[in-house]
Every structure is written in structure tokens, then in C-alpha cells.
């Protein structure tokens, strides 16, 4: 079966949704989107599915994976229409200007070929398309050229206490920007603090890509093909342009699908995009498509974190909004440094150490009123959760290769994911984590509290890279707009084009990059007439 | 603090929807699994257990009965080996355990039998302290510290406690305030300290 289009987008997560929506609005182009997973549960089922998640821990997005595609080290098995953003927490800070100039400013990592100022209009566009509620922090810490499209989620009583605590410690904290409607927005209702944003918002107040796909498919602007896993890209004979994508129909594996298009946009994320390029090797590109540089699947990394729980002398009421918090960029914009360390800071209310328990301090089993009284006695003081992300600079070898030992159900090598940090990053780790611990301890003292627990995690969150952008084809996979150096009609959107991972949640940055790529893709087609 | 009423409990139990309340289309038809049919937990024994382990003095008899009723309904709605939320940071898919109700039912009957062996009367006829003593003896090995997820509890008493203390109403009772955890609440109401819980409201 052959499916023709002007633009084929591979993947249907949040970056694919950004690309598709922008192209559909602005350009006269036939757009097909191909997704390996199946459709997500519709909005009208969410309340019931959420109820079963709350009551029984059941997956509110059942069957949101494809069998046979488990990869060690991957952060999520989710593979469905909308991708991981169907279950994301919706926290949407921007990177700081420094994130794009690490080598120039600090002598570590690499500079991006674009600046924060280049990305600013696309950040704004992403925030408007998603509906991000936020407030600008102090301008010197949180630069932006226009206001957020939605007012911030109001600080709960708890968060206001914690914000003041931060002030006492000399750290400005403000409402986290979030993809949660603080007032009705584009058909989505205002948030009402159901507080299960991750993994499921029962009302649709939190943005998820299914809203975009529903609008686009109902308007006939996009054709969405699901349950089709793209196995390789094929080049035109005698040309380096991509001719078509070959996919397997998961519901009828003997059926091969071919997607022919003028332009191809890979929006499969950090793992599956480089994997597809590597799988698509052919005699002219024996190391995989777009891989003349040898950097497909390379220089991939994320941000690690340090967590702490701090007991504070004031009474808090956990449950007002556990999934909304405070953000500070104070440590993302540190000014001149003797030794590189940058991190964000996010603060939430917490129930850590304040849960009901079965045994008292004397070891006796508590029952009846005793158990409740024990719980009440232990909740007279509050607890805050602190987390700081810091960027991990990747080694060249860090990322995705083809696994010789494990295959997909269709016989292709699965990706092998191995994240390794650069020596400079490894040498900075202890210093970075110590600095973060100092911040947490200082905050605890300033608030008259104490640290209950503190730990550093090895997990690298929001991994990106693998198809880094750059001006020089010898040291990058795509140009600053996401167009691959090797194939003029092949673009990469979102996470894989990142040069460094930043030190805060990265999804909004992935979206901004994807919109920038879409702007470039759009130049191939006439403007939408109306 | 005087008790929460049955009305308030039922109001705050909105997140807990018994299986029967879900439309058939929500069930995973592709897997061919149907809602389970099973014997529910014995109501009278469960009610007696609830009086022993739940905060009877604060909830009152009516509040305790309401919780026992909802726990029974919750247990009846459990789907064995359901796909669980697979979380983030892992490629693992997770599935729930077997139906805990048969084992829990046997434990309720065991409480009844032990009561007759030790005291010559049924569990329901014992005083609260004597019921608690029997329960303590049975859960001593399980009571490690914190409360597990209700379906993971090995003993029905622990399951009941875990169920209750996971309720938004329990949090409100602990803090003496209408927090309404996990319920839909206007953003505009979030700035103020949660209203104090008024007895009998």
C-alpha cells in the first residue's frame, strides 16, 4: 500500500504535533503523520480511567506500548498517539541564554549554532500553541520578549509559604510555567487541581497532543496513520533525497506500507529517530542516513538531579496541589564562574515522612484512633521537596547504536542506548552535587528547618541529542534549522537536534526547536490561502 | 474531633469508582477480559473489623460503616493482573497481583474462628480492645511501618487501613482542614488556607 503526501511526519508526540499544526495552518501541503502506537483513550473516557488509576494504580492509558520494543535504559515504553506527552507533568520552563553558549562562557560543552534570542519567538509560539500558564520571574533571571499567553496558576497557600521561605533564603521563586490552562483556552477548561497531571488529566486542562491531532484530523488537515512502525527510509535512485519510508502494519505484519512524500520530518524522539537513520543504511550511506559526520546517535545526554526533602516549622496542607510547584532560575544564570556549575531549582509541597504508619515510635502496631492521632501529631510541621536538574555533558560515544543481539519483531536490530558523560562532566559531578547540597542546606537553615533526606540520582532525564545541529557538516547531523546536511528533504524535529541538554525540563525547548524546523520545512510549500 | 459524616465520606470518595460504574466500553475488550464476578467480603465481619482498626472515636459508627461499605465496593471492583501505570524512567511494564479478596475473606473467617476459640463468641460480639488484640496478633508480621497500596496488603485489616488512609477524607481528618486532595477544586480557592473542618459537617 502506498500513501502519498507532501510532508510525512514520523511520530506523533508533542514535537510532531507542533510541526503538523504549524504546517497545516500556514502552508498548503498535504500532511501525513505515521505513528507506531495506537490511538490514545478519548477525553470522555479519562475521568473513568483516572478513577481506576487512583483507586487501583491501573494504567490510565492501557496498551500504550508496542510489544517487542523494550530497550534497556529507555525512559518510557509509551508508544501511542501523542507519545509521552499524553502522561507528562506539563512543566514548561525555557532554557536560559547560557545553555546555548557553554563553550564560550564557561569553556565546557559546546556552543549551539543558535542563540536563545533566535529561539525566543519559537518559545513564544510553542507557549501559545500549548497554552502555557506562567509568570515572568525577575527579568535578569527569566528573560522573555512577550508575556505568557495565560496567567500563572495561582500559588496555593502551601506554595506561598514556600515562596516566602525561598525569599528568606535569598532565592526568588515563582509559579512554575505549566501546560495547564489557568483559564479556559482553545476549547480546554481551566485546571481544577485534580492533581494527577502525570499520568492523566481527567478534564483536558493540561495540554496533550491528542487535542492537536483531533482538531487537525477532524478538519481534514492531517491524515494520521496509526499502528505502523517505520522500518527504514529509502533514497531516490541517483539522488540523496529521501524517496519514501517503509513501514510495517502492526495489525497485519505481512503488509508493507510505503509513505512517499516530498519532505520527511523525523519526530520520533531521542531514541527512535537516530535508530531509524541507522537502520536506513545503504551502500551510499553505509553508516546510516544523514550520517556522513558519523554523529547519528552520538553526543546524547540529559540532566541528572539532586533531590531533598526539607522539614519546615510551618504547617502545610499537602494535597492542595502536589504536582504544581515553584521554579527559580537563580542558579541557571550564575554569572562568571571559577568552576562550572549550573542548575535549576524547583520546589513542591510534599508528604515525605508525613504519611500514616502502622507502627509507633515504640514499635507497637497502631490501630484505631491511635493511628490517626500518631499521624496528626507528625504533621504539625511541613515538608518541602526540592529538586535541581544539572546538565550532563555527553561523551561522543554516548547515545544510540544498533544492537546486534536483540531485534524488533520484524527482524531489525533494536536500538542500544548507552549514555556516557564526557570526562569534563564527570570531573565536575562531585562539585556540582556538593554545590546543590549546599543550596538545600542553606535553604533549610534559613527557614529554621532541617534536611530529612537528600540524594543524587543517576537517571539522565529528558535525554536529547543524537542528531545534533551545527553549521559544519563534519561535526553535526543537521543544520541550525533541523535540515540534515546529507539529505535536503529530510528534517529532524525536537530533542535529537539539541547540542546540550540544558539544566531544566526540556520539553518546551524541544517544541520550540520543532516549530523552528517547521518554519523551514514550510518554505518548501506555498502559503495557505485561507 | 468529632466525626465526619457518612455524607462527607461519600462525597470525598468520588475518585474511587467501583468497577460496575464504568461503562462496558472502558473494559479492555481487546484482551477479552470481563469484570470479575466474585463473592464480596462478608459485610458484618468487615464492619466489625472496621470498628476495631479505623478511628472509631473520630469517625463515629456511621463514618466507620461508610468506609467499610466503600472498601467492600472497592475490593469488588479490583481487576486481577490489570496493567498498572508503568511510570517513568523504566522500560518495564507492570501488572497487578491476583485478586486479594479470597485471601481476605479467609482472614475474616479466621478472625471469627479465633474469636470463638479464644473467647467463646463471635468476632462481632467482642469488645473493641479484644478485636484489636486478635488483629494485632494476625498482622504483627506484616506491619512493617508504612501502609502499602491497598491491593498489596497481605491482611484484610491492613488493606482496609490502607484504603481508608488513602482517601481524601482521611487527609482532611488528619489536618483538620478541607484540603480535598485529588478532587476537582477551583484554582481561586487555592490561595487561602484550607477551611477548618467543622464537626458534623
- The pLDDT value given to residue B145: 75
* Residue closest to A275 by CA, chosen among A292, A298, A293: A298
Angle subtended at Cα B4 by Cα B166 and Cα A382, rounded to the nearest 5 degrees = 50
* Band of residue A392 on the pLDDT scale cut at 50, 70, 90: very high
**Taking the CA of residue A284 as centre, how many other CA atoms within 13 Å lie in the half-sphere pointing to its CB?**
13
What is the rounded CA–CA span in Å between residue A191 and residue B190?
12
Helices within A27-101 (DSSP H only): 43-56
* Band of residue B14 on the pLDDT scale cut at 50, 70, 90: very low
pLDDT tens-digit series, residues B191-200:
999 999 886 5
- The pLDDT value given to residue A459: 94
pLDDT tens-digit series, residues B59-82:
999 999 999 999 999 999 999 999
Please list every residue in chain A whose beta carbon sits closer than 8 Å to the beta carbon of residue B26. Answer: 45, 48-49
DSSP β-ladder status, A222-225 and A228-235: unpaired
Biggest CA–CA distance in chain B, Å, is 58
Cell of A512: 520550540
DSSP code for A144: -
- The pLDDT value given to residue B23: 35
Place of cell 463468641: B121
- The pLDDT value given to residue B8: 58
pLDDT tens-digit series, residues A351-383:
999 999 999 999 999 999 999 999 999 999 999
User: What is the percent of chain A where pLDDT is above 70?
Assistant: 100
Average pLDDT, integer, range A76-104: 97
* Band of residue B87 on the pLDDT scale cut at 50, 70, 90: confident
Rounded to the nearest angstrom, the gap between the alpha carbon of residue B26 and the centroid of all alpha carbons in its chain is 23
- The pLDDT value given to residue A70: 94
pLDDT tens-digit series, residues A179-212:
999 999 999 999 999 999 999 999 999 999 999 9
Tell me if chain A has a CB within 8 Å of the CB of B144. yes
pLDDT tens-digit series, residues A17-32:
999 999 999 999 999 9
Residue from A367, A369, A419, A461 to probe the interface with B (highest B Cβ count within 10 Å): A367
What is the rounded CA–CA span in Å between residue A477 and residue A163?
43
Nearest CB neighbour to A55, from listed B15, B135, B168: B15
Cell of A279: 537502520
Place of cell 468529632: B2
Cell of A249: 502494519
**B58–A369: do the CB atoms touch at under 8 Å?**
yes
Rounded to the nearest angstrom, the gap between the alpha carbon of residue B30 and the centroid of all alpha carbons in its chain is 30
Question: Residue B26 pLDDT more than 60?
Answer: no
Beta-bridge mates of residue B106: none
Question: Residue B165 pLDDT more than 50?
Answer: yes
Residue from B175, B178, B188 to probe the interface with A (highest A Cβ count within 10 Å): B175
For A46, which residue in chain B has the nearest alpha carbon? B26
DSSP A258-326: EEE-SEEEE-SHHHHHHHHHHHT-BTTBTT-TT-TTS-TTEEEEEEEEEEEEEEESS---TTS-TT--E
* Residue closest to A90 by CA, chosen among A171, A9, A195, A186: A195
pLDDT higher for B56 or B34?
Answer: B56
- The pLDDT value given to residue B200: 57
The domains of chain A are located at: 2-522
The domains of chain B are located at: 17-86+93-166
What is the rounded CA–CA span in Å between residue A311 and residue A448?
9
User: What is the percent of chain A where pLDDT is above 90?
Assistant: 97
Lowest-pLDDT range, A229-243, B16-30, B120-134?
B16-30
Q: What is the 3-state secondary structure (H, E, C) of chain B?
A: CCCCCHHHHHHHCCCCCCHHHCCHHHCCHHHCCCCCCCCCCCHHHHHHHHHHHCCHHHHHHHHHHHHHHHHHHHHHCCCCCCEECCCCCCCCCEECCCCCHHHHHHHHHHHHHHHHHHHCCCHHHCCHHHHHHHHHHHHCCCCCCECCCHHHCCCHHHHHHHHHHCCHHHHHHHHCECCCCCCCCCHHHHCCCCCECCCCC
Average pLDDT, integer, range A42-50: 96
Distance from CA of B120 to the nearest CA of A (A): 24
Residue from A59, A73, A184 to probe the interface with B (highest B Cβ count within 10 Å): A59
Q: Tell me what the pLDDT averaged over chain A comes to.
A: 97
- Domain A2-522 listed as CATH 3.30.390.50: no
Residue from B88, B142, B168 to probe the interface with A (highest A Cβ count within 10 Å): B88
* Band of residue B10 on the pLDDT scale cut at 50, 70, 90: low
**Looking at chain A from residue 335 to 394, which residues have their Cβ under 8 Å from any Cβ of chain B?**
355-359, 365, 367-369, 371-373, 375-376, 379
Average pLDDT, integer, range B24-28: 35
Say which residues have a Cβ less than 8 Å from residue A320's Cβ, sequence separation at least 6: A156, A157, A158, A159, A193, A349, B179, B181, B190, B194
**B187–A53: do the CB atoms touch at under 8 Å?**
no
Burial of residue A335 (number of CB atoms within 10 Å: 0-12, 13-18, 19+): exposed
Distance from CA of A379 to the nearest CA of B (A): 7
* Residue closest to A187 by CA, chosen among A218, A223, A155: A218
pLDDT higher for B91 or A461?
Answer: A461
CB A445 within 8 A of CB A476: no
**Looking at chain A from residue 180 to 199, which residues have their Cβ under 8 Å from any Cβ of chain B?**
182, 190-196, 198-199
- The pLDDT value given to residue B5: 52
Say which residues have a Cβ less than 8 Å from residue A472's Cβ, sequence separation at least 6: none
**Looking at chain B from residue 63 to 122, which residues have their Cβ under 8 Å from any Cβ of chain A?**
74, 77-79, 82-86, 88-93, 96
Task: Compute the count of residue pairs across chains A and B with CB atoms less than 8 Å apart.
Answer: 194
Residue B165 phi/psi, 5° resolution? -75, -10
Helices within A14-152 (DSSP H only): 14-26, 43-56, 102-106, 116-130
- The number of residues making up chain B comes to 201
Average pLDDT, integer, range B45-67: 96
pLDDT tens-digit series, residues A448-497:
999 999 999 999 999 999 999 999 999 999 999 999 999 999 999 999 99
* Band of residue A238 on the pLDDT scale cut at 50, 70, 90: very high
Amino acid at each position: 500500500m502506498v500513501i502519498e503526501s507532501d510532508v510525512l511526519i514520523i511520530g506523533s508526540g508533542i514535537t510532531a504535533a507542533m510541526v503538523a499544526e504549524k504546517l497545516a495552518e500556514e502552508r498548503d501541503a498535504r500532511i501525513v503523520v505515521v505513528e507506531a502506537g495506537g490511538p490514545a483513550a478519548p477525553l470522555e473516557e479519562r475521568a473513568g480511567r483516572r478513577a481506576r488509576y487512583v483507586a487501583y494504580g491501573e494504567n490510565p492509558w492501557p496498551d500504550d506500548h508496542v510489544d517487542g520494543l523494550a530497550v534497556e535504559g529507555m525512559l518510557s515504553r509509551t508508544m501511542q498517539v501523542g507519545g509521552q506527552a499524553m502522561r507528562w507533568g506539563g512543566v514548561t520552563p525555557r532554557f536560559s541564554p547560557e545553555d546555548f553558549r557553554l563553550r564560550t562562557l564557561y569553556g565546557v560543552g559546546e556552543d549551539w549554532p543558535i542563540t536563545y534570542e533566535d529561539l525566543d519567538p519559537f518559545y513564544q509560539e510553542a507557549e501559545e500553541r500549548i497554552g502555557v500558564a506562567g509568570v515572568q520571574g525577575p527579568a535578569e533571571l527569566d528573560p522573555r520578549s512577550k508575556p505568557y499567553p495565560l496567567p500563572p496558576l495561582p500559588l496555593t497557600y502551601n506554595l506561598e509559604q514556600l515562596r516566602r521561605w525561598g525569599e528568606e533564603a535569598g532565592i526568588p521563586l515563582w509559579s512554575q510555567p505549566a501546560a495547564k490552562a489557568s483559564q479556559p483556552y482553545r476549547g480546554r477548561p481551566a485546571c481544577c487541581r485534580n492533581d494527577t497531571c502525570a499520568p492523566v488529566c481527567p478534564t483536558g486542562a493540561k495540554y496533550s497532543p491528542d487535542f492537536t491531532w483531533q482538531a487537525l484530523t477532524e478538519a481534514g488537515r492531517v491524515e494520521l496513520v496509526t499502528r505502523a512502525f517505520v522500518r527504514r527510509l529509502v533514497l531516490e535512485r541517483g539522488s540523496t533525497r529521501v524517496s519514501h519510508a517503509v513501514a510495517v502494519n502492526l495489525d497485519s505484519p505481512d503488509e508493507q506500507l510505503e509513505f512517499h512524500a516530498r519532505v520527511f520530518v523525523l519526530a520520533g524522539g531521542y531514541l527512535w529517530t537516530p535508530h531509524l537513520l541507522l537502520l536506513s543504511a545503504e551502500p551510499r550511506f553505509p553508516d546510516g542516513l544523514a550520517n556522513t559526520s558519523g554523529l547519528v546517535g552520538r553526543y546524547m545526554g540529559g540532566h541528572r538531579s539532586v533531590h531533598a526533602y526539607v522539614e519546615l516549622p510551618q504547617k502545610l496542607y499537602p494535597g492542595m496541589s502536589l504536582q504544581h510547584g515553584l521554579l527559580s532560575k537563580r542558579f541557571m544564570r550564575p554569572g562568571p564562574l571559577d568552576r562550572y556549575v549550573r542548575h535549576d531549582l524547583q520546589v513542591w509541597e510534599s508528604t515525605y515522612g508525613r504519611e500514616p504508619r502502622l507502627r509507633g515510635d515504640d514499635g507497637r502496631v497502631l490501630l484505631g484512633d491511635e493511628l490517626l492521632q500518631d499521624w496528626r501529631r507528625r504533621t504539625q510541621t511541613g515538608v518541602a521537596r526540592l529538586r535541581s536538574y544539572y546538565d550532563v555533558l555527553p561523551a561522543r560515544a554516548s547515545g544510540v547504536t544498533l544492537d546486534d543481539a536483540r531485534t524488533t519483531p520484524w527482524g531489525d536490530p533494536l536500538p542500544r542506548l548507552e549514555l556516557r558523560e564526557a570526562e569534563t562532566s564527570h570531573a565536575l559531578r562531585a562539585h556540582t552535587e556538593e554545590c546543590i547540597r549546599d543550596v538545600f542546606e542553606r535553604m533549610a537553615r534559613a527557614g529554621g528547618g532541617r534536611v530529612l533526606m537528600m540524594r543524587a540520582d543517576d537517571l539522565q532525564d529528558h535525554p536529547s541529542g543524537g542528531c545534533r545541529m551545527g553549521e559544519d557538516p563534519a561535526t553535526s547531523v543537521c543544520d541550525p534549522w533541523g535540515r540534515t546536511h546529507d539529505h535536503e528533504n529530510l528534517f529532524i524535529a525536537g530533542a535529537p537536534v539539541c547540542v546540550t541538554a540544558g539544566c531544566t525540563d526540556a520539553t518546551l525547548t524541544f517544541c520550540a526547536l520543532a516549530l523552528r524546523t517547521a518554519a523551514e520545512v514550510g518554505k518548501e510549500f506555498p502559503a495557505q490561502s485561507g | 474531633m468529632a466525626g465526619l459524616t457518612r455524607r462527607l465520606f461519600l462525597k470525598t470518595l468520588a475518585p474511587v469508582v467501583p468497577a460496575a460504574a464504568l461503562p462496558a466500553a472502558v473494559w479492555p475488550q481487546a484482551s477479552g477480559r470481563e469484570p470479575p464476578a466474585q463473592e464480596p467480603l462478608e459485610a458484618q465481619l468487615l464492619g466489625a473489623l472496621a470498628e476495631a482498626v479505623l478511628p472509631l472515636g473520630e469517625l463515629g459508627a456511621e463514618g466507620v460503616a461508610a468506609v467499610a461499605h466503600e472498601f467492600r465496593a472497592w475490593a469488588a471492583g479490583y481487576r486481577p493482573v490489570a496493567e498498572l501505570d508503568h511510570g517513568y524512567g523504566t522500560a518495564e511494564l507492570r501488572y497487578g497481583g491476583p485478586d486479594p479478596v479470597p485471601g481476605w475473606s479467609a482472614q475474616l473467617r479466621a478472625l471469627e474462628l479465633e474469636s470463638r476459640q479464644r473467647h467463646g463468641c463471635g468476632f462481632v460480639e467482642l469488645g473493641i480492645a479484644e478485636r484489636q488484640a486478635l488483629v494485632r496478633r494476625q498482622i504483627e508480621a506484616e506491619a512493617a511501618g508504612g501502609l502499602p497500596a491497598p491491593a498489596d496488603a497481605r491482611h484484610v485489616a491492613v488493606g482496609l487501613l490502607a484504603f481508608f488512609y488513602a482517601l481524601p477524607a482521611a487527609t482532611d481528618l488528619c489536618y483538620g482542614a478541607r484540603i480535598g486532595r485529588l478532587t476537582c477544586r477551583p484554582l481561586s480557592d487555592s490561595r487561602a488556607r484550607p477551611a477548618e473542618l467543622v464537626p458534623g459537617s
